[in-house]
Chains A and B, each alone.
Chain A
Amino acid sequence: MSDPMEQFKVIFFEECSDLLISLEEGLMQLQAGDCDEEVVHSVFRAVHSIKGGAGAFGFDRLVSFAHIQETLLDDIRSGALEVEQAYMTVLLQAFDILSELVGAAQRDEEVADDFGGDVAKAMKAILDQTGVPLAEKNATKKPDIETDTAEKNARLFRILFKPYAELFQRANEPILLIRELGTLGDLTVALDVSDVPDIEEMEAEHAYFSWDFSLITEYDEAAIREVFEFVEDDCDLQITDHGVYLSPEAFVEDAQAGLFEDIEDEPDASPDVLKPRKAVKPAKSGEAVVSQSIRVELDKVDTLVNMVGELVITQAMLREQGGELLVEQYPNLVQGIEDLSRHIRDLQDCVMAIRAQPVKSVFSRMPRLVRELTASLGKKARLVMSGEDTEVDKTVTERIGDPLMHMIRNSVDHGLEMPDVRAKAGKSEEGVINLSAFHRGGRIFIEIADDGAGINKKIVLEKAIANGLVSPDANLSDEEINNLIFMPGFSTAESVTNVSGRGVGMDVVRKNIQSLGGRISIRSEEGKGSKFTMSLPLTLAVMDGMVVDIGPEKYILPLVNIIQTLRPGKEDVNSLPDGRNVMMFRGEYILLVPLYDLYHIDNAIENPCEGLVVVVEGDGGVLMGFIVDDLVNQQQVVIKSLEANYALVEGVSGATILGNGRVSLIVDISTIQDMSANQLRKFQSASPETNKISPQAQISSEIH
């Protein structure tokens, strides 16, 4: 069986991550001036808990650092220290170090000896001011009875144990003490009953018995005292070492020498005066109700989601079959299938909700990132977050972290100006980055807005032209220029600074987001700032789709991208020099995409005027018209990964199983958009006179 401690370590680190999140929140609240007592308490408790657990697993570095932090926080919460802003900076730095130490412990990594030394010194300096000494971490431990180095010779101890009347009040029981004493060696018990009053006058809960023990033991006096450690303030305890125990004869001699002389009554040792200390205040009543929750392993939830997904597919099949039954013949069965469908949809919603988590868990990493970036770049910035409670499936939250971090890096690095530049421009030295999340139209939107310099269109255009992405005489709108940063090949080595420099350009970010079924765009105004807008599906597991016929096959189009479906008239369709077609839609021409060609399907309707055109919106608001035979129906589709079951296929984002039991592929709009653009470029490289621009603009310029 594996070491159970390993299992506890996993739980401990999970707990640490929760604790670190709430610790950081609390510290930021304090920094913002919210010195609510409960906040201080919870911050203290978080560090205390981390330290406690760390100690249990022997993470010494973590323990010793946390210890200093805990002491400082303890002083703050006991009122010995007032919360000053200067302290908050130190505490936040300490938080960063603590996080690192936790991470290192989790990864089982060594940490440099001086790591965190500066911050530790700073904290100690604060503590020294108050004159409260940092308690010795290595207080002398009481020796374990079992591991005591036994003396070679047994010694005889006489132990007088006289409990005070109240000994029983703390649930201490002499018999247990006596038994424990007996484990140290040979014990002889002499009970003294002289203090027991008449039964009429007895206080049933008072202690009256006392004892005179003789113990022959190889242990030392400390071990004996330890037996009585919990009651030492509730009794008279006298331990006398009568030397090495040699033999019964010798014992008798000693007895004659006055071993059992009367012990004079000593004045009662006054009980320890309780040191003056602020009473530990219980939490304020009226505190938020602790919500009930349990930890569930993610595997179990994933299995549940998958099984419900299968249920949905089976239900769809039943529905399809059932649809062919005559209602009159089998009214109950048809009704039953209907009810089942409804219940399963509800079940699916509930199950998906289990896995939905607030984006807070991803957002929470950002403040620290901003702190690090601003520190290393010499800039000043404040991160303002909103909508952290917006929920989205775990499959999404675990994949948006990186893209978000890259975008925030981008904002701080390229977007925000240096403090003096900002001041000259009449802005506040401290830049603001807004990170927000909200639901809209069945998707989740995440926006990152900064009040920096905005995108310098001139530079961007120059770079794009230099990298061959755009023709020198292309006529692009402002928005199109801004969105050039997403194009593959845009970012070069020069745009990669030390900080952003993990080799990621915005094109990779966009690819990441696209692979989640998401979209990203940017709006920017020079001198004012930039705003990235990212939209993502609420889950990667389920999608609303439009089932379409293409030849004998059925394909799925994401419903969210569909603008309109129509059958164009001949006059609305035109041809491009390269043989491709375009269609007039709402005043402009959009590219027609022959899916049958893309997917190599025979026997499909090729003439858009005989089939249908589904107008979809791709990235950056680009519209395209997909040519299909016919619409079948709208339904919720359980997404099965093609990659996991087969391989990555360009132009297809996943698959599902329809009610008729057949596999249906889901059309990947973003990559088709890219593929179209690439095809256009390939064609253009063969005919240099045509312009190298985005399909939309290309089309517009072609037609007009």
Chain B
Amino acid sequence: MTSYAMVNSDDEISLTLKTIMDLTEAENLRLTFLDCLTKKKPLKILAGEVERITTPCLQILFSLKNWADYHNIDFSIVDMPQAFKTALDDIGLEEYLAPLEQRT
């Protein structure tokens, strides 16, 4: 399992999602997120490279948002490519995650 590209600066952690985010990636993503969250810094997720993302990873993204909300940690997803947006739309997650979208 390759790790995610991460930049850990003073104000935030940014994490770049991989091109294919499918079931095999899910656990890796979850553990990576957990790691980030312990740092208690704002978390910015760079989605620019995503070509395909499926339900398992989307579930984890959602759970991450929940946690961030609960612990008052800033959390955003940037550079969503069309494939990502379509997936969110299809699955019905848009209303939950879309407000988080920002553009750099």
Contact = CB atoms under 8 A, between A and B. Distances in A.
Determine whether A and B are in direct contact in the complex, meaning some CB atoms lie less than 8 angstroms apart.
Answer: yes
A198 B23 contact: no
A555 interface: no
B91 A189 contact: yes
A198 B66 contact: yes
B91 A202 contact: no
Contacts of B62: 193, 196
B63 interface: yes
Given A173-B55, A199-B33, A189 B66 contact: no
Contacts of A191: 91-93, 95-96
Contacts of B37: 199
A179 B56 contact: no
A586 B90 CA distance: 99
B101 interface: no
A189 B64 CA distance: 22
B26 interface: yes
Nearest to B91: A175
Contact of B55 (A168, A182, A200, A202): A168
Interface stretch (A205-213, A337-345, A428-436): A205-213
A202 B30 contact: yes
Counting chain A CB atoms within 10 Å of each CB, the highest count among B67, B91, B96 belongs to B91
Contacts of A174: 55, 91
A178 interface: yes
Contacts of B30: 199, 202, 204
Contact of A197 (B33, B63, B90, B91): B63
Contacts of A205: 23, 26-27, 56
A190 interface: yes
A275 B60 CA distance: 37
Contact of A199 (B23, B58, B66, B87): B66
B34 A179 contact: no
Contacts of A196: 59, 62-63, 66
B61 to A, nearest CB: 10
Contacts of B55: 168, 173-175, 207, 209
A204 B29 contact: yes
Contact of B60 (A168, A190, A202, A211): A202
Contacts of A190: 92
Nearest to B25: A204
B59 A202 contact: yes
Interface string B41-84: 00000000000001110111011101100000000000000000
B93 A204 contact: no
Interface string A37-66: 000000000000000000000000000000
Interface in B17-43: 23, 26-27, 29-30, 33-34, 37
A193 B96 contact: yes
B82 to A, nearest CB: 14
Interface in A652-684: none
A450 to B, nearest CB: 68
B87 A175 contact: yes
Query: Chain A interface secondary structure, helix, strand, loop or mixed?
Result: loop
Contact of B56 (A168, A193, A197, A199): A168
A191 to B, nearest CB: 3
Nearest to B55: A174
A168 B34 CA distance: 22
Contacts of B63: 196-199, 202
Nearest to A181: B90
Q: Which residue of B27, B56, B64, B87 has the most chain A CB atoms within 10 A of its CB atom?
A: B56
Nearest to B65: A199
A608 to B, nearest CB: 89
Contact of A175 (B29, B90, B96): B90
B91 A199 contact: no
A204 B91 contact: no
Contact of B90 (A189, A198, A199, A207): A189
B87 A200 contact: no
Nearest to B28: A204
A211 B92 CA distance: 8
A173 B52 CA distance: 12
A200 B96 CA distance: 20
A16 B58 CA distance: 49
B54 A173 contact: yes
B27 A199 contact: no
B66 A209 contact: no
B23 A168 contact: yes
A199 B93 contact: no
Contacts of B34: 199-200
A189 B96 CA distance: 13
A209 B59 contact: yes
Contacts of A178: 90-92
Nearest to A191: B92
Interface string A149-191: 0000000000000000000100101110011001000000111
A168 B96 CA distance: 22
A266 B58 CA distance: 28
A204 B27 contact: yes
A189 B89 CA distance: 9
Given A173-B54, A196-B62, A199-B33, A179 B23 contact: no
B92 A198 contact: no
Contacts of A198: 63, 66-67
Nearest to A193: B62
A211 B87 CA distance: 15
Contacts of A171: 23
22 contacts: A171-B23, A173-B54, A174-B55, A175-B91, A178-B90, A189-B91, A191-B96, A193-B96, A196-B63, A196-B66, A199-B33, A199-B34, A199-B37, A199-B67, A202-B59, A204-B27, A204-B56, A205-B23, A205-B27, A205-B56, A207-B56, A208-B59
Closest 5 CB pairs of A and B: A191-B92, A204-B26, A204-B27, A189-B92, A199-B63
Given A204-B27, A205-B23, 18 more contacts: A168-B23, A168-B55, A173-B55, A175-B90, A175-B91, A182-B90, A189-B90, A191-B96, A197-B63, A198-B67, A199-B63, A199-B66, A200-B67, A204-B26, A207-B55, A207-B59, A209-B55, A209-B91
Interface of A: 168, 171, 173-175, 178-179, 182, 189-191, 193, 196-200, 202, 204-205, 207-209, 211
